[in-house]
């Protein structure tokens, strides 16, 4: 299994509070991603990173920011959480140049 961990695994928070989710990899992979999964949908890309300090937006990036100060860590921040951001968040690594993506275990976030 790819060495990907996510923390926390579950979180309940209130509307308007900041939230940071962490993804940690031990594979030294250049590419990292954050996706969200909502009921009845596949995963949708929020942001991705193609190296330390290099990030770009995905299709559902509004309300989210990311940071990558080290190869192994990719942080997703909700500056002011809203109920529409209640979802399961998956981190992934890999891809590009013929490499497949592997996914972490997910973080279930509930915004009340």
Partner 1 sequence: GIQVEQSPPDLILQEGANSTLRCNFSDSVNNLQWFHQNPWGQLINLFYIPSGTKQNGRLSATTVATERYSLLYISSSQTTDSGVYFCAVELKETSGSRLTFGEGTQLTVNP
Distance CA 34, CA 104 (A): 10
State which of residues 3, 11, 58, 60 lies at the interface with partner 1 (CB under 8 A).
58
Instruction: Please tell me whether the peptide bond between 6 and the residue prior to it is cis, using omega within 30 degrees of 0.
Output: no
* Contact status: 43 vs partner 1 (CB under 8 A): yes
Select from 52, 42, 56, 58 the least CA-distant residue to 73. Answer: 52
Q: How far is the CB of 77 from partner 1 (least distance, A)?
A: 20
* Contact status: 52 vs partner 1 (CB under 8 A): no
Binding mask 65-104 for partner 1 (x = CB under 8 A): -----------------------x-x-x-xxxxxxxxxx-
From the CB of residue 22, how many other CB atoms can be counted at a distance below 10 Å? 14
Strands 64-70 and 54-57: unpaired
From residue 81, how far is each of 84, 85, 86 by CA, in Å? 8, 7, 9
Binding piece for partner 1, criterion CB under 8 A, among 18-26, 39-47, 62-70, 73-81? 39-47
Q: Which residues bind partner 1 (CB under 8 A)?
A: 31, 33, 40-45, 48, 50, 56, 58-59, 88, 90, 92, 94-103, 105-106
């Amino acid at each position: 299994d790819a060495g990907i961990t996510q923390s926390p695994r579950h979180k309940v928070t209130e509307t308007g509070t900041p939230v940071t989710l962490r993804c940690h990899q031990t594979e030294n992979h250049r590419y990292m991603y954050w996706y969200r999964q909502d009921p009845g949908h596949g995963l949708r890309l929020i942001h991705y990173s193609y190296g330390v300090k290099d990030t770009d937006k995905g299709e559902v990036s509004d309300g989210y920011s990311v940071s990558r100060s080290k190869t192994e860590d990719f942080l997703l921040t909700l500056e002011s959480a809203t109920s529409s951001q209640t979802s399961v968040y998956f981190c992934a690594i890999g891809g590009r140049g013929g490499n497949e993506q592997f996914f972490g275990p997910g973080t279930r976030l509930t915004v009340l």
